Amino acid sequence: MKFEIKEEFYIDGQEVKIISGAVHYFRIPPTHWEHTLYNLKAMGCNCVETYVPWNLHEPQKGQFNFSGIADLTKFIELAEKLGLFIIVRPSPYICAEWDFGGLPAWLLAADEMRIRSQHPAYLQAVSDYYARLLPKLVPYQFTQGGNLLMVQVENEYGSYGEDKHYLKFLVDELRKYLDVPLFTSDGGWKEVLDAGTLPEEGILATANFGSDADENFKWLKSYQEKNQLVEPYMCMEFWDGWFNSWQKPIIKRDPVETAEEVRKVLEKGSINFYMFQGGTNFGFYNGCSDAGDTNEPQITSYDYDAPLTEWGAPTEKYFAIQKVIKEEVPAAVIAEPVYPKVSSLGTYPVQESAGLFSVLDEISCPVLNDYTLPMEKIGQNYGYTVYRSQLLEKRVIPKLKVVDALDRVQFFINQAFVATQYQESLGENLTVELTQETNELSLLVENMGRNNYGPKLVADSQRKGIRSGVMEDIHYLSDWRHYALDFSAEQLAKIDFSKSADEATPSFYKVSIDLAEPKDTFLDCCKFGKGVVFVNGQNIGRYWQEGPVKSLYVPDYFWKKGHNELIVFETEGVLIEEVTFVDTPIVE
């Protein structure tokens, strides 16, 4: 079998229009992969596309993970089983509204680090990662009898840089292992196409957009003519919906309008729906948008208003697009989709609780330093960090402030809550009263997600925690203990629930749940404040009373038959006495 890129795409000499959908295996539980891929094919698609997040597969330098929700090869094998072609985007940076655009946070431990560049340490880290990742793709290539058609070099690099030497390095690394065609994807206008492409290397250029195919493909045509190329048109990311941030309404796109824009793309070329199913930002992996002076962390749900919902149900948009595909590509095979079953599991009481400060020394070994360190400098990538120091004498401090911290800081004096600072208020002076001769200052700092796109995507802007220090009056405080709270399963297992509880401070709440069988469900978070939920030691994601989604999707993958343990980490002093599971999401 032979895959060729000429004026169109060809397989074994037959012209093929690629109709693909983005499915991120890392945002969908493995128990649902086949369900999703079946529905993708039923909508009329012949291909599936996925990013590959570096930070998921190499969470610590030199430590690799390709199991469970990170089992990329199993996902590819399911796609092949269903007869779908495959496009893989394993570039070091993926954007994808994913923490740090998929780049591993441990890169930030190096002071001189410059990502997406020729920096030697960065290039070596990419090379080491590819040496473990890319051999896994080799047997699935079309040239080896598999269904993998194409592989991406870099992701929207023209929106970040213009370093052709860096792009050529990536091409050389990919070609060490792979012999299928390579491509780039950039926005559909001149400047980014010029900056992010490699026509002299024979790399296919594709465009990303969500409307106005005529205008975007016009620039792609101009690029091809300028470089004397004959290539097919492909929208590698057709944005059929959009992502969502905290404290803002859910963004929706009209199904009929979306489908008509799809028609315009199909009239001229091939398409990849971004997203086909969005899924969920499990754990601490949500990204963060650059909003100028502020940041907008994305919510746990990555529903994206896609053709399939977060939990895999076909939508009105699914059927509108399916109809257009059949009209524009009569050879496309469509079918009735399958639907997921979501259950209401009922209400369960909280059995035990413990205050964070009562168990802190047992669950985290502090790092001592004379000044505050960002979390990456203490070997931590995600979660929360407690910074602790002492303030002496009974007195009033008129000016106490944190200097340069990300992203959200809660102040406690002698374990009593004082204030929360976030975004615009972060760094403002506080007046605090000290009531003891020796007073304990504790600062709980939450990493709410690193930027995934834009000019802030440089190392100096992405280190989390307290980056400069804490000041009383005009001097920096010293002698700090740093407690890393990444909430791994091992750390959660160390929580001693016999220790004292204090609902007014950040606390852990434990619930035992017995199930006859694992089921998909939603946890109702309406009565919670802000925090994170864990099921059987696995991080389900963040919740926040400020919305827009006030529930968490908990698929069957995270449950066990029989006994299950759920832990809520609540930071806002909200007493949690019970948890309730419902069969529909709760959206403002």
pLDDT above 90: residue 68: yes
Q: What is the pLDDT of residue 152?
A: 98
Given pLDDT bands bounded at 50, 70 and 90, which one contains residue 487? very high
Percent of the chain with pLDDT over 70: 100
Asked: is 371-478 a CATH 1.20.58.2050 domain? The reply is no
Q: Which residue has tokens 């992010």?
A: 196
Where, residue-wise, is CATH 2.60.120.260 in the chain? 346-354+488-582, 371-478
Q: What are the phi and psi torsion angles at 570 (to 5°)?
A: -110, 125
Residue (of 24, 25, 31) closest to 558 by Cα position: 31
pLDDT digits (tens, 9 = 90+) for 72-107: 999 999 999 999 999 999 999 999 999 999 999 999
- DSSP letter at 492 equals H
- Strand segments, DSSP code E, in 171-282 are 182-187, 204-209, 234-239, 270-277
Buried b (16+ CB within 10 A) or exposed e, 223-250: bbeeeebebbbbbbbbbbbbbbbbeeee
Q: What is the pLDDT of residue 248?
A: 97
278: how many CB neighbours lie within 10 A of its CB?
28
What CATH number matches the domain at 346-354+488-582, 2.60.120.260, 3.40.430.10, 3.90.650.10, 2.60.40.3140?
2.60.120.260
pLDDT above 90: residue 14: yes
Structure tokens at 307: 């053709």
Rounded to the nearest 5 degrees, what angle is found at the Cα of 317, between the Cα atoms of 315 and 322? 105
Q: What are the phi and psi torsion angles at 166 (to 5°)?
A: -65, -45
Structural contact between residues 433 and 391, judged by C-beta atoms closer than 8 angstroms: no
State how far the Cα of 204 lies from the Cα of 206, in Å rounded to an integer: 7
Q: What is the pLDDT of residue 43?
A: 99
Q: What is the pLDDT of residue 417?
A: 98
Strands of the sheet with 430-434, listed across from one edge: 430-434, 395-406, 465-472, 475-476
pLDDT digits (tens, 9 = 90+) for 131-190: 999 999 999 999 999 999 999 999 999 999 999 999 999 999 999 999 999 999 999 999
Virtual torsion, Cα 304, 307, 309, 315, nearest 10 deg: 130
Cα dihedral across residues 273, 277, 278, 281: positive or negative: negative
Where, residue-wise, is CATH 3.20.20.80 in the chain? 3-328
Buried b (16+ CB within 10 A) or exposed e, 339-358: ebebbebeebebebbbbbbb
pLDDT digits (tens, 9 = 90+) for 410-445: 999 999 999 999 999 999 999 999 999 999 999 999
pLDDT digits (tens, 9 = 90+) for 554-581: 999 999 999 999 999 999 999 999 999 9
What is the residue-averaged pLDDT of the chain? Answer: 97
Residue (of 541, 573, 26, 60) closest to 297 by Cα position: 541
Whether omega before 496 lies within 30 degrees of 0, making that bond cis, reads no
Q: What is the pLDDT of residue 460?
A: 87
Residues designated as active site: 156, 237
pLDDT digits (tens, 9 = 90+) for 441-466: 999 999 999 999 999 999 889 999 99
In the chain, count of helices (H) and strands (E)? Answer: 12, 32
Structural contact between residues 184 and 237, judged by C-beta atoms closer than 8 angstroms: no
Residue (of 467, 315, 328, 477) closest to 385 by Cα position: 467
The second-level CATH assignment, the architecture, of 3-328 is Alpha-Beta Barrel (3.20)
Q: Which residue has tokens 């369900």?
A: 35
| Rg of the Cα atoms in the chain | 25
Question: How far is CA 342 from each of CA 524, 542, 553, rounded to the nearest angstrom?
Answer: 14, 20, 10
pLDDT digits (tens, 9 = 90+) for 259-280: 999 999 999 999 999 999 999 9
Write the DSSP assignment of 301-349 as a string of letters: B--TT-SB-TTS-B-HHHHHHHHHHHHH-TT----------B---EEEE
Structural contact between residues 452 and 479, judged by C-beta atoms closer than 8 angstroms: no
Write the DSSP assignment of 395-429 as a string of letters: EEEEEEEEEEEESEEEEEETTEEEEEEEGGGTT--
Percent of the chain with pLDDT over 90: 99
Q: What is the mean predicted confidence (pLDDT) over 108-132?
A: 97
480-485 and 384-392 strand pairing: antiparallel
State how far the Cα of 312 lies from the Cα of 33, in Å rounded to an integer: 10
Given pLDDT bands bounded at 50, 70 and 90, which one contains residue 473? very high
Write the DSSP assignment of 512-574 as a string of letters: EEEESS--BEEEE-TT--EEEEEETTEEEEEEETT-SB-EEEE-GGG--SEEEEEEEEE-S--
pLDDT above 80: residue 1: no
Structure tokens at 390: 């002492």
pLDDT digits (tens, 9 = 90+) for 196-230: 999 999 999 999 999 999 999 999 999 999 999 99
Q: Give every CB contact of residue 313 below 8 A, 6+ residues apart in sequence.
A: 339, 340
State how far the Cα of 459 lies from the Cα of 388, in Å rounded to an integer: 25
State how far the Cα of 508 lies from the Cα of 486, in Å rounded to an integer: 14
